[in-house]
Amino acid sequence: MQKIIDAHIHLSQRRDDALIRFARMNSLRYTLDELMGTMQRLGIEHGLLLSPPMQGASILPNDEIIRLCRRSGGKLAPVITVEPTAREVRAAIKLAEENKREVRAFKVRLGYVKASVESPVFSGFYDYAESQRLPVLFHTGDTAFSTGDLVRAHPLTLDGLANKREEMTIILCHFGNPWFEDTAELIYKHPNVYADISGLTTGQGVYAEKYSEWLARKISEAIYFAGNAEKVIFGTDYPVTRHSDALALVKKLDVDERDKEKILWQNAQRVFSL
C-alpha cells in the first residue's frame, strides 16, 4: 500500500462547526472514528489537524485540537491557528512552547480575518516560527463563505512576506485556487514557499469530472513551471474534500510516479519533520 501524509485536516465533533455542511454534502459522518478508519484503510500514516471555523467568526480552540490529536494514537499532529490580536498571538506562542514535541506548524486564516499577511500584530509570532523552524500555513484563494475577503486571501500577498522572511517556511493552502499560475510563480521564485492541494474538490455537480480534470491540468502545469514537484504537498481539507476525491486528483496529475510520491508524502515528511 502506498504511503500517504494528509497535511490539511479539520475536525471538532461539535454541533456549531461551520464545516458540517460540507460533511453532509460529501456524505461524511465527520467524526474522529470515521477519520481514523479512513486513514487506516487508505494507508495514510500521518495527518496534520487544523481548527475548523465555528458558527460566527470564531474557531475551535487550539487546545481542543491538541486533545483530539492525543486521542488519535499518534496519527494526528496539531497545527495552531493564530488569530490577529496581540492576546491571541501570545496565547498561540505559549501553547506551542508548552507542546513543542507535538506542534508541527501554525496557520493564519487569510481572507477570514480582518488583517493582512504583513500586519504588525503577527510579527512576534513570525519571529517565533522562524526561530523554531515551524512552517506557517496561510489560507489562500477562494473562501468557504461568501463573506470572505479575496483581496487579503490572494496568493500574491505572500510575495512581500516571503522576501522579508526568507528563513520562514510558508505554505499556501489550496494552491491559491483559482490563482494557480500566481501560486506557481511563488513556489518557483521563493525557496521557502510551498503549496498544498487541499480542499479543491467539493460535492458532485454536473461538471464535477470536468472540473477535476481542469484542476489536474492546472496543478500539473504549475509543476512544469516550477520545474519539479518538490514544493507541492498533499492535503484533503477533510471534510471539505473526501479522501477518495483528493487521491483521485493526484492520480490524474500528468507527472511521473516519483513526483506523485513526493506530493503524497515525501515533501510533507521533510517540511513538517514527521
pLDDT tens per residue, range 240-254: 999 999 999 999 999
Using 70 as the pLDDT threshold, list the residues of the chain that sit under it. Answer: 1, 203
pLDDT mean across residues, the chain: 95
Q: Which domains occur in the chain, in start order?
A: 4-272 (3.20.20.140)
Instruction: Return the pLDDT at 202.
Output: 80
Instruction: Return the pLDDT at 1.
Output: 54
Instruction: Return the pLDDT at 139.
Output: 98
**What does the pLDDT look like over 215-226, one tens digit per residue?**
999 999 999 999
Strand-by-strand arrangement of the 105-108 sheet: 4-10, 44-50, 76-81, 105-108, 136-139, 170-173, 193-196, 232-233
**What does the pLDDT look like over 147-177, one tens digit per residue?**
889 999 999 999 999 999 999 999 999 999 9
